[in-house]
Structure 1
Amino acid sequence: MSATSTDPGHRRALICCLVGLVFSAIMAWQSEGGEGDYDDLEHYLRARWSFHDPRYLLDEWGRPGFTALFAVPAQLGWLAGRLLSGLFSSAAAYLAFACARRLGLGSAWLAAPLTLAQPLFFTLSFTTLTETPTAFYLIAALHLLLCGRATASAAVFSLLLVTRYEMAALLPIWAVALVRGGGRRGWALPVLLWAPLAHNVLAVVAGMPAPVRVFLAARGRIYAAGDPFAFVAHLTSAAGLVIAVLALGGCRGLLEFRRGWLVSASIFTYLAVQTVLHGHGLYGTGGYARFLVTVAPLLGVAATRGWTMLGRREPHGGAASARTILLALALVYLSYEAHRWLGSVFWDRATAGLYRATAVLVSVTYMTLALAPKLRATGPAVLEAIRCLAVLFITSRLVVFVEPLRAEGRHREILDALAYAQRHGMSDRRVHYAGPHIAAAMRTVLPQDRRWFREAVALAQTGDLVIWDEFYGKDVNIDVPLQRLWPNRLWQLRYVSWPRPGHWPSILLFERTD
């Protein structure tokens, strides 16, 4: 029997990952018909449609690093894709443990639950969004690098560049790590670019625009610009307050380990790049908190180090650890307050009050520990109480935040529009539309180039129907605003969806007339 199989830490990490996988599968099953985000359904459909049109495998928006991985499971249905996401999430959590052990961290097995317990990471484990496979690729590349397999690490890291483009920000860090690693690096450095090179060559051969254009043109702003505090504040949504503080504090502690800098540098570089992109509205980024799921396993590793720092009892090291954790808490809390003051977050008064009370409680406790070395050395019960409190907050945050996904109201509106067309004898008409939700409802496949919708509307014949979807009709890549159809004597408005509270009607059905 191997040492690994008898290691209690290994067994604990494995049990945590298996439990996480089971719960993720249950949530996926209960989320049938629901979606975590508009992109959730669209990524799944592009993977499914790749069997009808292989160009979807190279589709720039769909991300080849995701589409190729999910193409086969997607043929079995959305649930199969979500189960695969759960598998990758659990595998990423296990690799977080493996990396923590390679780095020499104490209680390394905690990296697995501290990864899975991050609310958004677990929520995305039962979606088909690109952040989950990205997180797996990143932690797998790190593990291979720590194992001395430089070329394999570079090959896996390259997949990040065709799964989420902002991961290119970590390319210099990986290059430095490969160079500093010494030994037999072989083709490691050039291999870092194999995936984007292959993507661009194959896209051009297939008659598609070269994806490299995405990097060469910082596309115009689509969403409102973010503030400088956004992504540090987003850590509280993505990872929860406690894990966010432990991770940021742990980043400082990781510098005590030989390759711990790689984890810390990757986390802070990613936060900085996302802040700049969102702050300047570059590449049309929405600045969502879920983007932090890509570094969730790294946060789990850093939080493991933060956890061991949380329980230090020696007079000198304990004081330094207490100050580090306290500074991390101040950074996260003040970023949240600034983010809230700028009107970017809208928590109710009770939630904000609980958040502040938690921050004050932990701050006072940790200030006491930092200023009272005797209490720290002789009062382990205080430290254990803090740890129990941390576990309570982590667990309660996960329980309150995570729930099965629900169907968007637009799905019902689309079904109502199709039912109207059938009731009025229009079921045999040609129907033009651009949204994937409509395609899913009609069980059809959209052409890979979405510009066809604009052309179809322009060339529509008498009797043709157009289902105008507010979300996709205004998309800059589709560009069919409502003004093109209404008011217009060539188009008769036949159906308007009942507006949801606080929304305009989002689904309109038009018929082409003479």
Structure 2
Amino acid sequence: MNRTYSGKLLVIFYLCLCAIGGVAMALLYDDSCQQDGGLHFLFAKWAWTHHGLFVGVWSRPLFTTIYAIPALIGYRAARIFTVIVCLNIAWQTYKLASDLKIDRSPIAILFVWLQPSFFLFSADNLTEPIFALVFVIALRLHLSGHKNAGMFVASLMILARPEGFFLGVLWGIWILRDAWKDSLGELKAFATNAGRASLLASGGLIWWLAALLITGDPLFIKNNWPPNWPMTGTIYGAAGLIAYPIRLPEIVGPFLLPLFIYGLVTLIRRRQLGTITSSFLLFFILHTFLRAFGLLGSAGYPRYLVAISPAIALITLTGWNKLADLFSGMTRWIAISCAVVILALSGYINFVYADGAEWSRDAVAINQLHQWFTDNPQPVNKLIFSEPYSCIIFNRDPWENISFTLNRDVDLKILAESPPGTLVVWDEKVGPKWYGLRAEDFEAAGFSRMYSKSFVLRGRILDRSWFGFGGPRHQTFYLLYKKGV
């Protein structure tokens, strides 16, 4: 068996392993571990009704456009679609490693999926995987010499996430640097070559034009900017400069982190793969500062770094190769055994990490409430909900939900004015934390409690808490209803 054929078999084997893991995530857990996953699904599904969602700042134009059709099939179908997206990210990362002639390139596939945050959201409806796919495709085009095509694809990153603006600036620096080298110091030639960088504005121009055509508002993007994304201010708190560094194990993987650091130091010292290392450093430093000072509504989630998961994988692969070279004199079966143990432990940790994400378990309770309501139906004219999954499972338009002001008196007045036939699906954790309202407040506003139940929602792997991680989630859900006079 020749090396090329063996390498192809490894690629297929690794992709199949990852596919099994991704599909398992989609089937084992009915909902996202963060509320944003359900919201983005609702944005994509209902964009056909509320067309502004196709160009909304929070709904993310690229994500909503790509997911608009899968979302019509159903929530789980859209999540399986994300698995396919993530498999493509891993494939493109492997191809990039091959393009760069990095040894052991097939294992780059595993180093993408063994990132805990990547795995956690590999069957979710969040925007980071779409960003990562655009990023790695653009990077392949750029590094293969197709720089104009690479810039156009890179310009689409801003349609997936705001970080696309910052990475676009970095991309422009790469282009200007190369233009200066190609011009041999001649300003006229430099200006001609540098002018190509304007292609990086293509995505923003497409967004603005689409928003104008759909909404008729030339300032739609500015006017649609979410109020909880202030340029200054600390709506989610200011966590300090160590918030992201201490969460690197969740981003890279606890067992792979030493390899990643080794690879990063090696590449920086040797000035190799500058586009890869600078992309990671930009994201990491950017989010470290945004979280440290609470800017742009940064919540400090490790998942933000999923957007550059291909870069993380290639840096880890570099560290892996360097370590393999150091232990090249080791007996082959011992070396293979050590590698398998590291990879297997990393895979197991991923499942433990995903299983410990408590929010996804609320879907079990909401499913039971939905079944109870199906058995005891009432006419519903409007749905108010604390968690997006309730809106998904009850198949209602999310725009029926009231726009909570976080002003208790104003919100209670709005609730009191809700029409007959309004159904409320509320909980004891998310509702009070996000909106400052409990089930008793709805009752005071004229709603009747139809059904309530307390749950102890346990993980499939971690039945108890370990060092504050995982363990049972104690939750209570309510069905409330406003009857006619």
CA distance in 2, matches of 1:474, 1:188: 51
Could you tell me which amino acid in structure 1 is paired with residue 316 of structure 2?
A
CA distance in 1, matches of 2:295, 2:419: 39
Q: The residue matched to 2:303 in structure 1 has which SS?
A: helix
1:26-41 equivalences in 2 (<5 Å): 26-28=23-25, 30-31=27-28, 33-41=30-38
- Report the equivalent of 2:60: 63
CA distance in 2, matches of 1:105, 1:126: 29
Residues 233-287 of structure 1: CA deviation (Å, up to 9, x unaligned): 3221232123222222212322477761111111122111111111222233221
Indicate yes or no: 2:320 matched with 1:307. Answer: yes
RMSD: 3.8
Residues 453-482 of structure 1: CA deviation (Å, up to 9, x unaligned): 969636324564444456665687xx6744
Structure 2 unaligned runs (5+)? 183-191, 406-410, 457-471
CA distance in 1, matches of 2:419, 2:445: 14
- Report the equivalent of 1:190: 198
Mark the CA change 1:305 to 1:431 in structure 2 (over 3 Å): closer, same or farther: same
The answer (yes or no) to whether the contact 1:235–1:292 under 8 Å persists in 2 is: no
- Report the equivalent of 1:394: 343
CA distance in 2, matches of 1:410, 1:306: 39
- Report the equivalent of 1:123: 120
Mark the CA change 1:176 to 1:9 in structure 2 (over 3 Å): closer, same or farther: farther
Q: The residue matched to 2:220 in structure 1 has which SS?
A: coil
1:454-469 equivalences in 2 (<5 Å): 457=415, 459-461=417-419, 464-468=422-426
The answer (yes or no) to whether the contact 1:41–1:437 under 8 Å persists in 2 is: yes
Q: The residue matched to 2:30 in structure 1 has which SS?
A: coil
The answer (yes or no) to whether the contact 1:465–1:512 under 8 Å persists in 2 is: no
How far apart are 1:144 and its partner, in Å?
Answer: 0.9
Indicate yes or no: 2:256 matched with 1:229. Answer: no
- Report the equivalent of 2:408: none
The answer (yes or no) to whether the contact 1:159–1:195 under 8 Å persists in 2 is: yes
Could you tell me which amino acid in structure 1 is paired with residue 107 of structure 2?
L
Mark the CA change 1:512 to 1:197 in structure 2 (over 3 Å): closer, same or farther: farther
Matched residue count: 443
- Report the equivalent of 2:47: 50
- Report the equivalent of 1:437: 389
1:190-339 equivalences in 2 (<5 Å): 190-205=198-213, 206=215, 210-212=220-222, 213=225, 217-218=230-231, 220-255=233-268, 260-313=273-326
Could you tell me which amino acid in structure 2 is paired with residue 101 of structure 1?
S
Deviates more, 1:184-193 or 1:46-55: 184-193
Residues 306-349 of structure 1: CA deviation (Å, up to 9, x unaligned): 12221345xxxxxxxxxxxxxxxxxxxxxxxxxxxxxxxxxxxx
- Report the equivalent of 2:172: 175
The answer (yes or no) to whether the contact 2:425–2:478 under 8 Å persists in 1 is: yes
1:491-502 equivalences in 2 (<5 Å): 491-493=447-449, 495-498=451-454, 500=456
- Report the equivalent of 1:357: none
The answer (yes or no) to whether the contact 2:91–2:109 under 8 Å persists in 1 is: yes
What TM-score, normalized by structure 1, do the two folds share? Answer: 0.73
CA distance in 1, matches of 2:109, 2:371: 48
- Report the equivalent of 2:153: 156
Mark the CA change 1:108 to 1:154 in structure 2 (over 3 Å): closer, same or farther: same
CA distance in 2, matches of 1:270, 1:177: 16
The answer (yes or no) to whether the contact 1:158–1:194 under 8 Å persists in 2 is: yes
- Report the equivalent of 1:447: 399
How far apart are 1:421 and its partner, in Å?
Answer: 6.0
CA distance in 2, matches of 1:444, 1:241: 41
CA distance in 1, matches of 2:400, 2:476: 27
Could you tell me which amino acid in structure 2 is paired with residue 507 of structure 1?
Y
Mark the CA change 1:238 to 1:510 in structure 2 (over 3 Å): closer, same or farther: same
How far apart are 1:223 and its partner, in Å?
Answer: 3.2
CA distance in 2, matches of 1:36, 1:306: 31
Structure 1 unaligned runs (5+)? 314-375
- Report the equivalent of 1:371: none
Taking every aligned residue pair, what percent have the same amino acid on both sides? 21
The answer (yes or no) to whether the contact 1:134–1:294 under 8 Å persists in 2 is: yes
The answer (yes or no) to whether the contact 1:151–1:186 under 8 Å persists in 2 is: no
Residues 347-396 of structure 1: CA deviation (Å, up to 9, x unaligned): xxxxxxxxxxxxxxxxxxxxxxxxxxxxx8xx822899577535412321
What TM-score, normalized by structure 2, do the two folds share? Answer: 0.77
The answer (yes or no) to whether the contact 1:150–1:185 under 8 Å persists in 2 is: no
How far apart are 1:106 and its partner, in Å?
Answer: 2.8
